[in-house]
Structure 1
């Protein structure tokens, strides 16, 4: 238990065991009280909170910023550069991680330590979100809550996608061409090709990715930007802050020679909401659709 010495922790666990044996505590509650979960991936942390299982979290990674309470939990660092010592120091009974977690050698070390490790596929589709909710629900023994959450998400998703289609038809069935720039460190800027969460979100929003010649992310070059001729520039809010605001984005090489640059069409959304494919996916799509519609109307 966080903040308890080993003797105090043993006494605490003994108290739970005594209550269980006495029939004063349901077995599921006792199991939940003894679970110590580390979540590596902001979307997985959000699912834990959505299932009301946050009391079982003892650690998260740096992408776990929502809800705000998650950022106050012990942090194991960036998902791709974990250390076995940092994770195991929290004495987890289970680790849930996105497939982006790593490096692989660290994951092997954690598994070799005997701690159950569940690596969940990213699958940048709504169906992937449903699968992650169901899997986390199984891990924390909240299948009923997971089923309710899935039903709620499906209803909201149907409503939002119908709204997006209506907006698309209003624009003549053709969405804007969008260039997504990932820039979460000074002096670094990457553009999204296909098979990324950004590309998936643009497609859901009825927009087209301005970059289609490669998969994943590659460094931004003026030539590629000019050739892409995007109608809108999309960033995360964190990326926009790193670049120093909209004027600095518009001043990036090549941007001024595009329809987006000439019309000053730059929009930004919070990173994990936009790219995480967590429980906020329906609201993220609605926000993206609204932002692109507003930008094109300006």
Structure 2
């Protein structure tokens, strides 16, 4: 969620806009975005004054006040930041808090938050309009589409793959209806967990039967497990073709699961990882 103030303190934002869905609505990091990070997010001298706890990219996001989990927003915490504009995922809530914020005269813009390109395009356009920067939003989309077309020209073997994350001490695998699934498929891989929805716990028996040739693991999972070698030694995946053939690819959490404007970058990193392991 982005809490954006366009009032009297002046200055412009240099870190980007954030979404309550976790990914940055307009994340920095891509070369084409770094050229001018505040070209869309500054609004008449306004600035972002707060985020939710899922806003971890870019790093500057973590330096801002957090209003907690975007599905359980505390009205008092949000109001205390004195925002004039709130940009939030369509999944943000509770509904009564969103309604209360509106009744207080705060402009609340809800954005599409589904794991598909159409939702991403809608999200960018909606935020750009809310900031009074529709042309900049259009430019961002054009650049993203160009980058996406470029990576889609790359061909890799259509191997079976899965994305894994550590949550609550358990390894979970990403099924259909997830951003991770779209990353795999767009990169040219086959998600071996496509028959399930969302994220589900993994067992050695299930993973062994699915025999993924490629495993994408998030950077936070690698960190929490003590390094990529520790991940490979996990009984859940140790005997997979992916581990045996060194096709375990570490991907930044927001790239693997965020579905923001860095989506083409996520595709490229997966493709590079697969092709690099093949050489």
Bucket of the pairwise TM-score, normalised by the shorter protein? 0.7 to 0.9
Report the CA distance between 1:108 and its aligned residue: 4.0
Q: Which has the higher Rg, Structure 1 or Structure 2?
A: 1
1:98 — aligned with what?
A: 89
The counterpart of 1:202, out of the listed 149, 171, 184, is 184
Kept in 1, the 8 Å contact 2:161–2:191? The answer is yes
Equivalent positions of 1:34-183 (< 5 A) are 39-41=19-21, 42-44=23-25, 46=27, 49=38, 51-53=40-42, 55-162=46-153, 164=154, 167-168=155-156, 171=157, 175-183=158-166
RMSD: 2.8
Structure 1 Cα separation of the partners of residues 271 and 54 of structure 2: 24
Q: How many residues align?
A: 259
Report the CA distance between 1:79 and its aligned residue: 2.5
Q: TM-score, normalised by structure 1?
A: 0.77
1:273 — aligned with what?
A: 255
Change (3 A) 1:292 1:112: farther
Report the CA distance between 1:202 and its aligned residue: 0.5
Kept in 2, the 8 Å contact 1:182–1:236? The answer is yes
Q: Which has the higher helix share?
A: 1
Q: What stretches of structure 1 of length at least 5 have no aligned partner?
A: 1-9, 17-28
Q: What stretches of structure 2 of length at least 5 have no aligned partner?
A: 1-6, 29-36
The counterpart of 1:257, out of the listed 226, 236, 239, is 239
1:117-160 Cα shifts (integer Å, max 9, x gaps): 22212232233222211111100000121122122222222112
> Aligned with 2:132: secondary structure?
coil
1:234 — aligned with what?
A: 216
Name the structure, 1 or 2, with higher relative contact order (CA <8 Å, separation 6+): 2
Report the CA distance between 1:200 and its aligned residue: 0.8
